[in-house]
Amino acid sequence: MSETNIGKRLAVIGGGPGGYPAAFLAADMGFAVTLIDLEANPGGVCLFRGCIPSKALLHIARVIEETAELRACGVRFEPPATDLAAVRAWKDSVVRRLTGGLGQLRAARKIEFIRGRARFADRKRLRVALADGGERELAFDAAIIATGSRPAAIPGWPVSPRIMDSTAALDLPDLPKRLLVVGGGYIGLELGSVYAALGAAVTVVEMLPGLLPGADRDLVAPLAKRLEKRLAAIRLQTKVADVREEGEALRVTLETGDGRRSEEVFDRILVSVGRKPNSGDLGLEAAGVELDARGFVKVDGQRRTSDPDIYAIGDVAGEPMLAHKATHEGRAAVEAIAGRKAVFEPRAIPAVVFTDPEIAWCGLTETQATAEGRPVKVAKFPWAASGRAMTLERTEGFTKLLADPETERVLGVGIVGPGAGEMIAEGVLAIEMGALVSDLALTIHPHPTLSETIMESAEVFYGHCTHTIAKAR
C-alpha cells in the first residue's frame, strides 16, 4: 500500500495503549477507522486493570507511609482508618473518568467502535462476536492487532477465589491478614506494597536470587532494604511446591533452592509470574500471520506481520510489555500503513517500578554492559548529598549514568528514589538526542530538586562534583 492508503479502511483490534492511540492517529490522518474491543470504552489492560488502578492504589499506599514517617519530623498522625469500599470506589472512579474521556475522544474523531471479540476470517475480513450477541463481518484494507496480554497462571494449582491474579488483586476484594505474593517482579512488588500499606502481612517468594530480575542490583538494593522492613518476609530462591485449600485458608509448601521445605498458611495468594500474549483464538492462521515460539506475533521494524497489510503492536508483539512501548509502536505502524517512512527503533525505552522508593532506568544497564563485555564509565551521585532528598527525609536513593568512556556519550541512566519515574524522561531524552555527559553537566537544573542529581552525576563523571569528593583525591 502507498500514501494513497489514507482514506482507506483500517481495523484496530484491541483498545489498549497500543490500539487506541493508533486508532486516534489514523483517524486524525484521514483513515476510516474501526476500533474493536471487549470493553465499552478504550483503555485496555493499562487503564482498566493495570497501570492506572495500580498507581491509584500506590498513591494511597505512599501517603499512608509518608504520614507515618512524618513522626521523625515532629508530626504525628493517628493510624489511618481504611474504608475499603470507599478506596475501591475512588480507584474505580479514576478508571471510569479516564476511559469515559477516551470514549468521548473516540466519538469526536468519528471512529466506529464495535464492542466484541474479533477473529480473522481471512486476510481481508474480520468476524466479530458482538458483546450484546450476534456476529458482524468487517472488511478492511489494513489491520492492526493490539490484543495485549493476560496474566500467566501456574499450571496444576487449585482454582480458588483466594488465589488471585493482578486483576483480582486490583479489585481489593478484602484485606487479607496474610498475603503471599508469588513472583518478585514489578507487578508483585507494586501490589504487595499496596496490601502491606493497607495492613496485610505480605510475604514475597521469588525463585531467582534477587527481586526485580532485569534491573541492576545496585538499583534494587535500597528498595529491597526498605521492603524488608515493610513486608513480613522476602524469600528468595524459593518456589511454591504445593498449595492446598484448608477451609478459609491456603496451606502453602515452600521449597528453597537447596530443597528445604517448609509450610506456611495464608489467607490469599497473589500470583504475579509474568504475562502471556493474547495471540490465540484470533484466527491468525486464516490471515497468514505467524507467531514466534513464545506466542508473540512476529513483526518487522515497522510492526508489519507476515501479511503485508496486517500489523501488530504492544504486548502481543513482544517485550518489553509496557504501555508506552505499545503507544509508540502504534504510531510507527500507522505511519507505515499510510505509506510514510517510519520505523520503531528507539534507543531507549524507560522502565519504571512504582514502588517506594521507585526504580527507573533506560538505555544500557550495567548488567547488560557486563554481559556484553562492553566498556562503560559509570558515575553515581548519592542522594545523601542532595539537599532536596534531605528535605524529603529520603536520602537512600542515587542516580547513575553509564557513558561511553571514549566518546562520553550517555548510554544508560538508572535512578532509585522517590520520584525516579518522573525523572527518568530526562535520561531517555539524553540518550535519544545522543547527548554527551557534558550536556547534562552544563544544563542548568532547578534548585533544590531531585532532578539536580542527574546533573550532579554528570559532574561526578568528570571528577568535579560540588557536593561529593572525587575518589581519586
> For ligand FAD, which is the closer residue by CB, 14 or 382?
14
> For ligand FAD, which is the closer residue by CB, 44 or 222?
44
- Please give the helix or strand (H or E) that residue 13 lies within, else none: strand 9-13
Give contact residues for ligand FAD (rule: CB under 6 A). Answer: 13-19, 36-39, 44-46, 50-51, 54, 117-118, 146-149, 166, 187, 278, 282, 314-316, 321-324, 326, 354
The β-bridge relationship of strands 398-403 and 377-382 is antiparallel
CB of 99 to ligand FAD, least distance (A): 10
> For ligand FAD, which is the closer residue by CB, 148 or 419?
148
CB of 9 to ligand FAD, least distance (A): 17
> For ligand FAD, which is the closer residue by CB, 187 or 220?
187
Place of cell 538499583: 219
- Please give the helix or strand (H or E) that residue 183 lies within, else none: none
CB of 319 to ligand FAD, least distance (A): 10
Q: Are 322 and 329 in contact (CB under 8 A)?
A: no
CB of 45 to ligand FAD, least distance (A): 3
**Cell triple for residue 91?**
480507584
**Cell triple for residue 114?**
464495535
CB of 47 to ligand FAD, least distance (A): 8
Place of cell 478484602: 174
Can you give the three-state secondary structure of 365-387, one letter per residue?
Answer: CHHHHHHCCCCCEEEEEEHHHCH
447 catalytic residue (yes or no): yes
Catalytic residue, chosen from 59, 447, 464, 467, is 447
3-state secondary structure of 274: coil
CB of 432 to ligand FAD, least distance (A): 18
Give the number of other Cβ atoms within 10 Å of residue 2's Cβ.
Answer: 8
Calculate helix-pair angle for 323-337, 19-29, nearest 10 degrees.
Answer: 30
The β-bridge relationship of strands 149-151 and 275-277 is antiparallel
> For ligand FAD, which is the closer residue by CB, 360 or 455?
360
> For ligand FAD, which is the closer residue by CB, 209 or 213?
213
Place of cell 502491606: 196
Q: Are 99 and 47 in contact (CB under 8 A)?
A: yes
Nearest residue to ligand FAD by CB is 148
User: What positions carry a catalytic annotation?
Assistant: 447
